[in-house]
Structure 1
Amino acid sequence: MDDATFNKVKEENKKQVQDVLARQATIIKNNESLIVPFTRETLKEAASLHDNEPDRERFVRESLMGFWLSLGLGE
């Protein structure tokens, strides 16, 4: 791949990443009223359900990942 093609692909990839980040920021802003209470309740539930710290961390991580995915923000 020559330098011109490489630079073109690099710029296209950079723009795509910026577009995704902008969409994610919009989703977060539009759903902020859902995100904060969900996060707070998830952390409270994690604290009450699990005595074992690794279990708590896994519960929070899995709960939040499911929520982010439902908003279209996960992988």
Structure 2
Amino acid sequence: MCSAAFAAAVAFGAVAGPALLFDLPKTPERLQPLAGPALAPVLFAARVVSVLLRFRTAGQPSQPGRTSPVS
């Protein structure tokens, strides 16, 4: 979740930041601060889901030291 929060914060800053820092034309200056908060939760959710899916498909690690019952 920390990497998802970081990715969402970076995306928010990359999208909304220029409108807050620079003088832009009216349309981008009005839309970028709205697009940043809209993109951040989507990116957060996508990152959390991708990590959970990767964790689920990783499988169980082997258990060294165990012998099979037939040996």
Q: TM-score range by the shorter chain?
A: 0.3 to 0.5
Structure with higher Rg: it is: 2
Normalised by the length of structure 2, the TM-score is: 0.35
Normalised by the length of structure 1, the TM-score is: 0.34
Normalized per residue, the structure richer in helix is 1
